[in-house]
């Protein structure tokens, strides 16, 4: 009896297993989806204004970029969850904190952010002054007034969804997979860093060449700095996410309420 059962088991077809092999398609989807989703969700907001017969529907959609971006972040999290699931993994693993190194990683993260802050500020100001004559003029595009209720919702949802989706997508999901597929550490660092900086072109999407160039270049050095830090020490990702969320909250609070 046992012999016949073992023969039957040996001849049975194996159960399908979850494919864990990395391929380029999901990686490119991960690094390219955010710049596309930001534009798509802003277009959705513009469509609402079209249906309301607004004379300048796209221009009207620009001021609502924190909320359209939050919608894009939610979609990004859903896609990232699906990609992780296909490889037998769960999304929350990307946010895991190494409990034995909390104090050390927190101090390292703060120190790195202090060191990297000039890389975020100086190119921003210099490029803005060169393109617009005064970087303060970029606020006419980026910091348009919102009603008080819209500002409150934006302050609640945009920093949180952006912190949960942005850095994990580029550096916890895409970067290690690019390195495994290509075998080139420089490519694993460069691709996510470039797309992290480039996504700001559609955040918001304003059809002004100077603004697009400013948004492309303003964070490029800082994006490469973040990529370098997270590649060398992946365990600091949760702390970078927290600091990132606080910076986004500060930006939203600069938007005037009317």
258, part of any domain: no
Radius of gyration of the chain (CA): 22
Quote the CA–CA distance of 29 and 21 in Å, as a whole number. 16
189 lies in a domain?
Answer: yes
CB atoms within 10 A of CB 37: 22
* Total domains in the fold of the chain: 1
pLDDT value for 4: 44
Residue 146 belongs to some domain of the structure: yes
Q: What is the reported pLDDT for 21? A: 60
The residue among 225, 212, 254, 204 whose CA lies nearest residue 128 is 212
The burial of 255, by beta-carbon neighbours within 10 Å (0-12 exposed, 13-18 middle, 19 or more buried), is given as buried
Report the interhelical angle of 65-86 vs 24-51 (nearest 10°).
150
State the pLDDT at residue 44.
97
Residue 193 lies in a domain: yes
pLDDT in the model for residue 88: 84
Kindly report the backbone phi and psi dihedral angles of residue 191, in degrees, each rounded to the nearest multiple of 5, phi listed first: -60, -55
Asked whether 128 and 214 are in contact (CB, 8 A), the reply is: yes
Residue 168 lies in a domain: yes
Residue 1 lies in a domain: no
Is position 121 within any domain?
yes
Q: List per-residue pLDDT tens for the chain, 258 residues long.
A: 444 444 344 444 444 333 446 789 999 999 999 999 999 999 999 999 999 999 999 999 999 999 999 999 999 999 999 999 888 889 888 898 988 899 999 999 999 999 999 999 999 999 999 999 999 999 999 999 999 999 999 999 999 999 999 999 999 999 999 999 999 999 999 999 999 999 999 999 999 999 999 999 999 999 999 999 999 999 999 999 999 999 999 999 999 976
> 193 lies in which domain range?
24-89+100-253
Residue among 146, 154, 143, 170 nearest 32 (CA): 170
Strands (E) located in the chain: none
DSSP code of 170? I
In a domain, 33, yes or no: yes
């Amino acid at each position: 009896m046992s012999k016949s059962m073992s023969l039957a088991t040996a001849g049975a077809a194996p159960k399908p297993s979850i494919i864990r092999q990395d391929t380029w398609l999901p990686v490119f989807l991960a690094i390219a989806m955010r710049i596309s989703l930001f534009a798509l969700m802003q277009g959705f907001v513009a469509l609402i204004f079209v249906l309301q017969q607004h004379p300048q529907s796209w221009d009207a959609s620009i001021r609502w970029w924190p909320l359209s971006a939050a919608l894009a972040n939610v979609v990004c999290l859903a896609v990232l969850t699906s990609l992780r699931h296909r490889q037998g993994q769960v999304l929350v693993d990307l946010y895991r904190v190494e409990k034995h190194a909390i104090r050390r990683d927190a101090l390292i993260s703060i120190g790195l952010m202090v060191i990297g802050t000039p890389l975020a500020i100086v190119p921003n100001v210099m490029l803005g002054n060169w393109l617009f004559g005064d970087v303060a003029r970029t606020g006419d595009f980026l910091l348009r007034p919102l009603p008080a209720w819209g500002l409150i919702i934006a302050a609640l949802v945009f920093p949180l969804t952006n912190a949960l989706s942005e850095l994990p997508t580029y550096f916890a999901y895409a970067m290690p997979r690019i390195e495994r597929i290509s075998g080139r550490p420089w490519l694993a660092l460069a691709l996510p860093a470039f797309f992290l900086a480039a996504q700001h072109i559609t955040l918001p999407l304003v059809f002004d060449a100077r603004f697009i160039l400013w948004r492309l270049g303003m964070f490029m050095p800082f994006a490469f700095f973040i990529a370098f830090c997270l590649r060398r020490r992946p365990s600091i990702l949760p702390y970078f996410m927290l600091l990132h969320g606080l910076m986004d909250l500060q930006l939203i609070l600069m938007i005037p309420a009317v």
